Amino acid sequence: MKLFKSVLALAAALFAATAVATHAEHAMDVIKVGDLEIVQPYARATPPNAPVSGGYMVIRNSGAETDRLIGGSVGFADHVEVHEMKMEGDVMKMRALSDGLEIPAGGEVVLKPGGFHIMFMKMKEQLKPGETRTITLEFEKAGTVELELPVRDMKGGHGSHSHSGHSTSN
């Protein structure tokens, strides 16, 4: 019995160490384009026939000039828009940023549920947890970059937000 407990404890420790190492390795993935670094990108899983989904990440600018995320493209949706959600009085409002999202020199912008995010409009197919999808982002100065978005299940988490009644501009 003592041997079983020791083996079980060792297996648990190895599993935990592997999970931590895998998470640290994944968290360290940095996609570079020009003076920009993109970390922790992911997309929100969708139910079947959902019209939209969201993409999230952190964008850091190590350069001396401001850059701007101005758009992107994906194969799984008709088009991509850069959005923000913010409180106006007592109402949460969402809008497309027609001039793009400023990435300040020497700073970073966090794209997250309930804040700045990328919207995948007129979805062509469902995004399922565990999948990885490709996105091409376009920046005003740094140009374009292709990256992989792991798809995460956001049910019941802080990442759930509704886009019902959302306008679908071109």
Rounded average pLDDT over 59-75 = 97
Is residue 86 situated within a structural domain?
Answer: yes
Nearest by Cα to 142 from 103, 99, 109, 111: 103
Q: What is the CATH number of the domain that holds 48?
A: 2.60.40.1890
Nearest by Cα to 158 from 112, 119, 93: 112
pLDDT for 129-155, tens place per residue?
999 999 999 999 999 999 999 999 977
Please give the Cα distance from 34 to 31 (Å, whole number).
Answer: 10
φ, ψ (nearest 5 deg) of residue 120: -100, 110
Structural domain total, the chain: 1
Q: Which domain holds residue 44?
A: 31-152
Q: What is the pTM of this model?
A: 0.75
Please give the Cα distance from 61 to 67 (Å, whole number).
Answer: 8
Is residue 167 situated within a structural domain?
Answer: no
Highest mean pLDDT among 65-74, 80-89, 148-157: 65-74
Give residue 155's pLDDT.
72
Is residue 103 situated within a structural domain?
Answer: yes
Is residue 20 situated within a structural domain?
Answer: no
User: Which contiguous run of DSSP H or E holds residue 18?
Assistant: helix 2-27
Is residue 11 situated within a structural domain?
Answer: no
User: Which of the residue ranges 95-104, 113-122, 149-158 would you say has the lowest mean pLDDT?
Assistant: 149-158
pLDDT for 151-169, tens place per residue?
999 774 434 444 444 444 4
